[in-house]
Amino acid sequence: MKKTLFICSILLNLSLLSAQTIESGSHKTAGYIKSDGTIENSSHSTVGYIKSDGTVENKSHSTIGYIKSDGTIENRSHSTVGYVKKDGTVENSSHSTIGYIKDNGTVENSSHGTIGYASGIKKEWAAVAFFFFKLD
């Protein structure tokens, strides 16, 4: 009985460390974001990282951008390329709406057409995954 409880405990802990799935609009797995910010494609190859300080890196650990605490997304030169509002609206640098990240993880284009799903992922991270990386 103790062995069974121990194995169940290990499996539960491993499941908590697993990555959140990013899906296309047709629910095909496009990639994963791990809890540590590692971004993987559908084959589990690392394509980038989101660091705890908001730095966004490519797979070679070169900085390609930043996510600021107010939802501003900047490129590596600190020029603003977009915004993620608290309500999930994603805007370009001119404040034109380019998409939406809903509370349930649905990702929509500016016409509210579903382009993907990122359930359980921070809105800013989902925006980076959909707009900085090609995960197909």
Q: Please tell me the predicted confidence (pLDDT) of residue 134.
A: 57
Burial tier of 64 (Cβ tally within 10 Å: 0-12, 13-18, 19+):
middle
Structure tokens at 22: 């990013």
Q: Please tell me the predicted confidence (pLDDT) of residue 95.
A: 96
CA distances from 32 to 70, 77, 97 (A): 24, 27, 25
Block mean pLDDT (10 aa), the chain, length 136? 38 48 92 91 92 94 94 94 94 95 94 94 88 58
Q: Please tell me the predicted confidence (pLDDT) of residue 129.
A: 84
